Structure 1
Amino acid sequence: MVNSDEDVLAIFSSRWSTTFIPSVYTVVFLVSLPCNVIAIIIFLFRTTKTPSVVFMLNLAISDVLFVILLPFNIAYRFLGNDWVIGEGMCQFITVAFYSNMYCSILLMTGISVDRFLAVVYPMQSLLWRRVSRAWITCFFIWVVSIAGAVPLFTINLTVRIDQLNITTCYDMLDIKHMDFYLYYFITFISIVFLLSFLILTFCYIVTIRTLSSSKIESTVKKSRSVSLCITVLFEYIFCFGPTNILLLIYCLTFDKSFVYFAYMLSVSCSSISCCVDPAIYYFGSSKYKKLVHSLVCCGEYKAVSMRDSSSRATGKGTLA
């Protein structure tokens, strides 16, 4: 995606791209994979299926599918940005990355809407908050996320740089034949990212305001729901925000190499979202929280269980 030879040499020879980025990916792989696999097992076999559990289960699956492909990107960066396994794999890995990112964004939006309905309209939403409808929504999210990235299969994503004796993957593109790609991608990013951000922000502002009222007396449930709202907003703003904003800026300018370099760094940092998602499961599912406590700190687990039991006995709100 970079035009100037000097800029190319500087970016692809930089230790930021050959050391920092793959190091971040390596940490994400080592931390995220076991955490999300454990989450999938808990959601499948140890929890009662609710709409929120369905959304979190799909989010964990999305993260696992993403991190198991990270070793390809790790090897690519550590090899000096040299892609050695062909055009087809480059396209597949790139499509998988964008599909995961937008699938995660849409699933987090689904979680926010579900939490909004459960807190603000606990009784009225019982008719809408069905497990079957949550599965249908998740299926639609997967279809939209994958379809949004599929056009990348129509573009040649690998480019040879003779000066460095490397072949790049998605880091350089022929801009002569990319008018459709640019318009499509800008439209897709705007709809998925910006619209989701507006929905998510609205839902959590109203949710937090409702939790601050006297309608819900359970302190434990209030704290858990507020923590969930803050965690999702943090992940959305700091993990996905810079990546999508920089990508929009780059698509509109397309000749600013420093913007793309910043985008490369932000992409690696956005992968940290896979490590943040287990915190969403922790605050979003009381059963997941209890099982984690039982694995990590058995002493605290008993105290938490007693507090939760007391809260269920006195709490009037419904935050499931």
Structure 2
Amino acid sequence: MGNGFALYVLLRTYRQKSSFHIYMLNLAVSDLLCVSTLPLRVLYYVNKGQWNLGDFLCRISSYALYVNLYCSVFFMMAMSFTRFLAIVFPVQNLRLATEKKAWIVCVCIWVFICTTSSPFLLSGQHTDPNSNKTKCFEPPETSKSLGKLIMLNYFSLVVGFIIPFLVILVCYAGILRTLLRNTNGANKQRYTRIKAVRMIVVVMLAFLVSFMPYHIQRTLHLHFKNRKDANCEEIIYMQKSVVITLCLAAANSCFDPMLYFFSGENFRHRLSTFRRASGNIIGTNKGRHALQSSPPVEESELQSCNGSNKLG
């Protein structure tokens, strides 16, 4: 709901676009697409691990979830870097943070994530030999397939989480250093500091609460599956823990509307502009309705004349 409304506001106020606005727009799209895959997973776990929707939907839903999950990470990294340029290198920011370059970065992010996530399209539904259930979203039992998943996990762990997290940490360290150095400034500078700190808090919460537990638990789970001495109860416990941390990762879409509102560049201004524009449209429609519903002058005069004749 929050991301849908944010996307609607961003699209309605697109004329006020900036590089930061373009990243927010793509982040909102990514979050909505990520959330749209969750009902299929909920249905799967409600059916107690039985997949009934076919191999194609299994592949697409797994692929779409990871594409949009890691696109969100990269767009948050791009937004942090844009804020870093605006505060630490304001002169260079005018040349580097243009709308055209922001769109190029967004296209590169989508293409890179869609390409590197393509192995998820190769693993569809499979039958569990122990329970004879049709499985999806779970690693197969074969050691060969599990080995490929472990390699893919380490790639996504490093490229999709550790590197963006380090980039964001470096950006925020530079931002805080610059802001603390310039403590005596005008009200506009103080507002910039507050906005930057809000963004730091929201993004760090998103990474520490949403992404970090999932990546740690997913790595442990895959290595646990690769063990030969793991018993059934331990496997079930690890699977449940991965599902819980995946819910936390998907909950990142709940943090992002806070990111738009508290630290988004002029997002609250866009929201007020959107509200004024909507109010003007409603007011115009009411005015038109009043004009259409009011009788013509001649008819009003005729009614008053008829009324006076009746009174007389």
Deviates more, 1:195-204 or 1:75-84: 75-84
Of residues 153, 166, 173, the one that matches 2:121 is 153
Aligned to 1:228: 199
Distance in structure 2 (CA, Å) of the matches to 1:162 and 1:189: 30
Point out where structure 1 has 5 or more consecutive residues left out of the alignment.
1-33, 297-320
Residue pair 1:91, 1:152 contacting (<8 A) in 2 also:
yes
Counterpart-to-counterpart distance in 1, 2:171 and 2:22: 19
Aligned to 1:177: 144
Question: Counterparts of 1:234-249 in structure 2 under 5 Å?
Answer: 234-249=205-220
Output the TM-score relative to the length of structure 2.
Answer: 0.77
Equivalent residue number for residue 241 of structure 2: 262
Match of 2:74 in 1: 106
Equivalent residue for 1:94? 62
In 2, the alpha carbon distance for the partners of 1:245 and 1:175 equals: 22
Q: CA deviation at 1:286?
A: 4.6
The number of residue pairs the alignment matches comes to: 262
- Matched residue, 1:190: 158
Give the whole-Å Cα distance in 1 for the aligned partners of 2:244 and 2:104: 35
Code of the residue aligned with 1:81 in structure 2: it is G
Match of 1:55 in 2: 23
> In percent, how many aligned pairs have the same letter?
24
* 2:52 alignment partner, one of 58, 79, 84: 84
For residue 131 of structure 1, the aligned residue among 99, 104, 116 is 99
Aligned pairs for 1:264-279 within 5 A: 264-279=243-258
Higher relative contact order (CA 8 A, sep 6+): 1
Amino acid at match of 1:282: F
Alpha-carbon distance, 1:76 to partner: 1.6
Going from structure 1 to structure 2, the CA distance change for 1:44 and 1:84 (only over 3 Å counts) comes to same
> Alpha-carbon deviation of 1:170?
1.9
Distance (whole Å) between structure 2 residues aligned to residue 248 and residue 129 of structure 1: 36
CA shift in 2, pair 1:224/1:147, >3 Å: same
Structure 2 Cα separation of the partners of residues 244 and 107 of structure 1: 18
Q: Is it true that 1:118 corresponds to 2:92 in the alignment?
A: no
Code of the aligned partner of 2:257: P
1:114 partner letter = T
Change (3 A) 1:222 1:286: same
Deviation at 1:181, TM superposition (A): 3.4
Aligned equivalents of 2:65, 2:179: Cα separation in 1: 36
